């Protein structure tokens, strides 16, 4: 009886770095209402992407990058999508 060997999908360093960079940029996107950051839109989108990613890095790393950049985005500025409600 022959054994079937299953190969795991490997990512090269460039795609790994690009994925980390995309998660970091997504974590910085917030919706700002009347000058205050309210909704971490990029964090929510990043969490959805990381849950359905076929070639997932360690998900703990992805979640950590998203949460860390969301905190930095809220405190230092980040990228803002401005909505003004009166």
Question: What distance in Å separates the CA atoms of residue 71 and residue 76, rounded to the nearest whole number?
Answer: 8
b/e map 3-23, b = 16+ CB within 10 Å:
eeeeeeeeeeeeeeeebeeeb
**Total domains, the chain:** 1
| pLDDT of 69 | 87
Q: Is residue 1 part of a domain?
A: no
Q: Is residue 4 part of a domain?
A: no
Question: What distance in Å separates the CA atoms of residue 37 and residue 43, rounded to the nearest whole number?
Answer: 13
Q: Which domain holds residue 77?
A: 13-83
Quickly tell me which residue has 């003004």 as its tokens: 84
Q: Which residue has the higher pLDDT, 41 or 13?
A: 41
- Residue 37: helix, strand or coil by DSSP? strand
Structure confidence by residue, pLDDT tens digits, 53-76 = 766 667 788 888 888 888 888 877
Q: Is residue 7 part of a domain?
A: no
pLDDT of 86 strictly over 50: no
């Amino acid at each position: 009886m022959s054994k079937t060997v299953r190969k795991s999908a490997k990512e090269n360093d460039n795609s790994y770095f690009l994925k980390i960079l995309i998660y970091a940029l997504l974590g910085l996107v917030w919706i700002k209402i009347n000058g205050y950051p309210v909704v971490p839109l990029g964090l929510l989108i990043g969490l959805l992407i990381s849950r359905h990613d076929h070639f997932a890095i360690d998900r703990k790393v992805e979640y950590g990058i998203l949460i860390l950049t969301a905190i930095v985005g809220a405190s230092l500025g980040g990228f803002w999508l401005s909505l003004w409600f009166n």
